[in-house]
Amino acid sequence: MLRVLLLSVCFLAAPLFANTFNLVQEDVWGDRHYGDIYAEGDYAYIASDGVVVLDISVPSSPTHVTKISLPTFDEIIRVKKQGEHLFVMSIKEMFIVDVSDLTAASVVASFEYLQDHFFLDFEVVGTRLYTVGMNTPHITEYDISDITSPQMIGTKGFGAVSTMGLALASIDGALVVNIDDILYVVSTAEATKFKVLYTGQKIQVKKRLTSNIR
């Protein structure tokens, strides 16, 4: 009976493991669909289950440099870089990675979205990090002057949101935010922090008309 049981376990377990070749490929190239891409200088940073880094100094012949693994099971949705730090966002977590040495990249800080919804986008502006997510408060501001210890210092909500169409960009002294298909320009100046400077009209999606005439 023991022998039969062992054979059964081995038979059931075998399909759960990829072969050595596939494991190597996943470790090198990732095992998720590629998503966001950030390029700077000679390198491209590609979101997957971690971040795949390519040397693009010869554009016609990119070469693999490394894959930065992160302690999350969630897919990476946004990647941006400032100085020697890579900012990496999954739907539930934000990671700040020291990439001064790409062969030894290391996470220096991370934090989670504490509410029951998702991160969707972010912007890094000097010593400030702004994130946008599904439920109010939609925008959260973090002080990252100490890169190893981000501190939440402000929030901004926009009421009920019915879609996941949220995005964030920065201009001088302000954020440009898409919230539920409405465009806002929001001040980031200390004296007028999060004051709405402009509100656009909601984008109206025209429904396709169909005819029952035969």
Q: Which residues of the chain have pLDDT under 70?
A: 1-34, 114-117, 162-164, 203-214
Tell whether 13 is covered by a domain: no
Residue 148 — φ and ψ, nearest 5°? -85, -5
Last residue of a domain, one of 112, 136, 171: 112
Tell whether 157 is covered by a domain: yes
Tell whether 7 is covered by a domain: no
Q: Is 194 left (phi over 0), alpha (psi -120 to 50) or beta?
A: left
**Does residue 59 sit in the same domain as residue 83?**
yes
The whole-angstrom distance between residue 160's C-alpha and the CA centroid of its chain comes to 23
Confidence at residue 20, expressed as pLDDT on a 0 to 100 scale: 35
Tell whether 199 is covered by a domain: yes
Exposure string of 152-170, with b = 16+ CB inside 10 Å and e = fewer, is: eeeebebeebeeeebebeb
**Does residue 123 sit in the same domain as residue 84?**
no
The number of domains in the chain is: 2
**Does residue 151 sit in the same domain as residue 101?**
no
Tell whether 123 is covered by a domain: yes
Confidence at residue 158, expressed as pLDDT on a 0 to 100 scale: 85
Last residue of a domain, one of 92, 112, 132: 112
Confidence at residue 36, expressed as pLDDT on a 0 to 100 scale: 86
134 burial level (CB within 10 Å; 0-12, 13-18, 19+): middle
**Does residue 137 sit in the same domain as residue 96?**
no
The size of the chain, in residues, is 214
Last residue of a domain, one of 112, 145, 172: 112
CA distance 135 to 171: 24
Domain that holds residue 169: 115-205
What are 115-160's pLDDT values in tens digits? 666 788 999 999 999 999 877 788 999 999 999 999 999 999 888 7
Tell whether 143 is covered by a domain: yes
Tell whether 188 is covered by a domain: yes
Say if residues 126 and 112 touch (Cβ distance below 8 Å): no
Confidence at residue 74, expressed as pLDDT on a 0 to 100 scale: 83
**Does residue 121 sit in the same domain as residue 201?**
yes
CA distance 50 to 70: 6
142 burial level (CB within 10 Å; 0-12, 13-18, 19+): buried
- What SS3 state is found at 96? strand
Closest CA to 107 of 115, 116, 119, 98: 98
Name the amino acid, one letter, at 164: M
Residue 194 maps to which CATH number?
A: 2.40.10.480
Token pair listed for 27: 């470790």
CA distance 83 to 144: 13
Give the global pTM: 0.78
Say if residues 186 and 177 touch (Cβ distance below 8 Å): yes
Name the amino acid, one letter, at 71: P
**Does residue 127 sit in the same domain as residue 198?**
yes
**Does residue 126 sit in the same domain as residue 78?**
no
